[in-house]
Structure 1
Amino acid sequence: MHADVKWIILSYKVPAEPSTLRVRIWRTLKALGVVYIQQSVCVAPQTQEVAKKIEALQKMITANSGEALLLEVERFADGTEKELRKLFNKQRVAELEEFLGGCRLFLQEIESETSKGNFSYHEVEENEADLAKLKRWHKKIAKRDFFGCPLLGESKRQLEQCELTFDAFMHQVYATEGSAEGKIHLDGIIASRNDE
């Protein structure tokens, strides 16, 4: 994101019930990567997507008997902006550390199955689903990385390592299970011809 960032601030108040509205607002804002500076007051860099979703939230809040004030800020004081950038990166670091933990678990799982010689199609499917989750997770975090979190590069490399490890595992499964299936099929053909 450029050095001269424009900001958007949403301050809102919603009725206590139904609580589902508060939860929906909170989840949407967290998915956007906002930083709460006070209860029910959040800030984010003003990107097209962030502005569009926050404006939609503002309409939803007012349509549900709530109050929402939307502010567009051209510039904060230098110290404030520096502090906000730190808060955004602190959130991304926490998310990426958790993501890296997920990558480690994924690699440990493949290592465990490899050491057991458990080369089955079921394991390929299971690990492929886990890898797809990691990819989606990383994409969501990267989308919220407005200020170049220092862990983003490491997380990309770790995800690539997961992809390479999975690819090698899948080829090992194919070499093991695929050739066994071919041998069983071939043995069955030879046996039936010998019976004739």
Structure 2
Amino acid sequence: MPELHWIIFSYKIPAEPSSVRVRVWRNLKTLGVHYIQQSVCIFPYRDELMKKLKKLELLIAENGGETTFLKIEKLSAQSEPLILSEFNKERMIEYTEFIQEANKFLDEIENESKKANFSFSEIEENEVELRRLKKWLLLIKSRDYFLCELQDMSVALFEECNIAFERFTNHVYKHEGILEE
């Protein structure tokens, strides 16, 4: 693995309006940073992350706040494994929740198939859910900087969802006489 460089980002935002504070927090969580303490987070140095943080820095400044960026060439031998572990724990929680939802999707497809509920409305409903799962998985992967052990399982499970949906769709088309047996 190439040597990691880190950024520590700290910020101060006036208490009011609280919507700015919440917006900053949400944006940072979406980027997958790890909070070391309140208003202080760390993340691996990536150009695309820095561009997004520069925009966030502007938002904070426009609302009377302050920011500080510290580029860290190397963490201590004790700190780096702990920080990596924290990043992966956070992704593990996200992947676990994704896996639960993907399994619910597979259960739904199986239940509708057992009931022979082969309708276009079921296709539409399940297609919406499959798109939601795809978007969610891509978002988790985008902030999975250190390849959490559940990433491969999540990707394989999503592929299983795709296959199940395609199979279900074919059953609907056959049921409606659009596809021949």
Query: Do these two structures clear the TM 0.5 threshold for a shared fold by scoring above it?
Result: yes
Shift of 1:58: 1.4
1:42-191 equivalent positions in 2, closer than 5 A: 42-178=41-177
SS in 2 for 1:4: coil
Which residue identity is paired with 1:78?
A: A
Flag the structure with larger Rg. 1
Please give the root-mean-square deviation of Cα atoms over the aligned residues, in Å: 1.4
Which residue identity is paired with 2:64?
A: S
Q: Return 57-66 or 82-91, whichever deviates more.
A: 57-66
Whole-angstrom CA distance in 2 between matches of 1:150 and 1:112: 30
Shift of 1:139: 0.3
Shift of 1:62: 1.5
Whole-angstrom CA distance in 1 between matches of 2:176 and 2:100: 30
SS in 2 for 1:78: coil
Q: 2:37 matched to which residue of 1? A: 38
For 1:152-173, what per-residue CA distance to the aligned partner results, in whole angstroms no more than 9, with x for missing partners? Answer: 0100110000000000000000
For 1:73-116, what per-residue CA distance to the aligned partner results, in whole angstroms no more than 9, with x for missing partners? Answer: 11111211111100000000000000000101100111111111
What TM-score does the superposition give when structure 1 sets the normalisation length?
A: 0.89
Gaps of 5+ in 1: 183-196
Q: 1:10 matched to which residue of 2? A: 9
Q: Is the 8 A contact 1:119 1:173 kept in 2?
A: yes
Which residue identity is paired with 2:125?
A: E
Whole-angstrom CA distance in 2 between matches of 1:85 and 1:77: 12
Shift of 1:3: 3.4
The runs of at least 4 consecutive aligned structure 1 residues that moved more than 4 Å come to none
Whole-angstrom CA distance in 1 between matches of 2:71 and 2:27: 19
Whole-angstrom CA distance in 2 between matches of 1:177 and 1:38: 58
Whole-angstrom CA distance in 2 between matches of 1:82 and 1:53: 26
Q: How many residues align?
A: 180
Shift of 1:148: 1.1
Whole-angstrom CA distance in 1 between matches of 2:78 and 2:12: 28
Q: 1:27 matched to which residue of 2? A: 26
Gaps of 5+ in 2: none
Which residue identity is paired with 2:6?
A: W
Whole-angstrom CA distance in 2 between matches of 1:120 and 1:134: 21
Whole-angstrom CA distance in 2 between matches of 1:59 and 1:19: 17
